[in-house]
Amino acid sequence: MASASRNLVIALACAATSPLRAQSPAPLRLSFADAVRQATGQSQAVPPSVAIAGFRADEATARVRQTRSGLLPNLSLSGSWLSRTFNTQAQGLSFPGIPKIIGPFDAYDGRVRVTQTLFDFATLGRVSAAKSQASAAGADRSAVIEASAQNVALAYTRATRAQAVVNARQADSALAAELVNLAVAQQQAGVSASIDVTRARTQLAEAAGRLIVASNQRDRARIDLARALGIDPDTPITLTDTLNAQLGAADVPADRSAAIAQGVGARPDLAAELARGAAARTAASAIAAERLPRLELEADYGLSGVALASALSTRQVAVQVTLPILDGFRREGRLAEQQAVVRESDVRARDLREQVSADVDGALLDLRSAVAQQMIATDRLQLAAQEVSEARQRFKAGVAGNIEVINAQSSLLRARDADIDARFAAVTARIALARSVGSARTLH
């Protein structure tokens, strides 16, 4: 009965580690660098957030063309036919010999009309503001790409961590199975009590349960990675990278001051805020320029008459000057509002500059801490493995019970988890450092 239970536990553990989609197509082999490239839109499958940001940048560019239309010529064609009668008395014409109703008569008119703004400083300012808004939208798109690269990099790292945990739990299960065999052999040799076998089988069952949980977390992490990439969650993914010392490297200066300088110059969120501030200042200037005269040219040419055959050509040329005087102080209110927007943008830009320094310092602290933890975890893992080996030798020699082996086994499990956590922390710190200087898209 105990042997059957042990076989059932092992079978469940093996089933948990097998792929959930046995009938799925060949899995997508994905490296860390490839995942980051896909996150930045350099593949057919573009993440939704990146695609939406691109559309918003296109919208801002289109608004520039819309605003510029106020400075370009307008050309229109018109044609009309009119049949009407006149009531002369309604027009104040009540004289002998003049009929009360004149008509009906036809009138034809065809015309080409051109208008051109010659000088309009307000529209010029609005065009400049629209260009700055387009620049801000482009910087926002870059910020979304940076965030997408970071999110995918973190999702990939979590998936590799989950796979490392599965590998550790598989090693735990293999060790637990070996210790069960050793305990059974010792019991059969008469040098060990049956409780040692029971303890060993308990450890095997616990290892199988932890393996099932780890396998589930690995599959969930791969689903999250697929969602971050904007691909079908059913797509099977094979990760080609592991939690190593090179994972998460990027084009980041080693010196703190250089990293902060790069962040201030390259962070797209800061560039977007600066562009929005420039757009707000230009918009304020455009509002103030509305007080200046506006000069327009209008011309039309066409044919008109009571019959098409007898239509005559007519033309009109006009130059119009408009000088706004008073609009109920609405313009002053709009200008005050825009100036407040400028001050608000200045505060946000200053805060973002300080945030760059904070992000760089925080990432560097986390990276130094992770490196130190990784060194300690490596030593701890070696010592835990040595402890298991020595405890097993003592149990095998009959000088100690397997309680020492179980304690050493638990220490090895914790050491493996600590090693995985330290490596994971180092990679996430490198990713955060790359994001803090605006280089997340260079992660590899």
One digit per residue, pLDDT tens: the chain, 444 residues? Answer: 445 445 545 554 555 545 444 455 577 889 999 999 988 887 777 888 888 999 999 999 999 999 999 899 999 999 999 988 888 778 777 777 778 888 788 889 999 999 999 888 899 999 999 999 999 999 999 999 999 999 999 999 999 999 999 999 999 999 888 888 888 888 888 777 788 888 888 888 999 999 999 999 999 999 999 999 888 888 888 999 999 888 988 988 888 999 999 999 999 999 999 999 999 999 999 999 989 999 999 999 999 888 888 889 999 999 999 998 888 899 899 999 999 999 999 999 999 999 999 999 999 999 999 999 999 999 999 999 998 888 888 887 777 777 888 888 889 999 999 999 999 999 999 999 999 999 998 998
With H, G, I as helix, E, B as strand and everything else as coil, classify residue 399. coil
Report, in angstroms and rounded to the nearest whole number, the Rg of the chain calculated over CA atoms: 39
pLDDT at 11: 53
Q: How many degrees, rounded to 5, is the angle at CA 250 between CA 56 and CA 265?
A: 55
- Give this prediction's pTM: 0.82
The CATH superfamily of 2-72+121-291+330-442 is Outer membrane efflux proteins (OEP) (1.20.1600.10)
Q: Burial letters for 392-409: b for 16+ Cβ neighbours within 10 Å, e otherwise?
A: bebbbeeeebbebbbebb
Question: How far apart are the C-alpha atoms of 422 and 375, rounded to whole Å?
Answer: 9
Pull the structure tokens for residue 355.
Answer: 């945030």
Rounded to whole angstroms, what are the CA distances from 164 to 190, 233, 239, 374, 387? 39, 21, 11, 15, 22
pLDDT at 24: 56
Question: How far apart are the C-alpha atoms of 407 and 405, rounded to whole Å?
Answer: 5
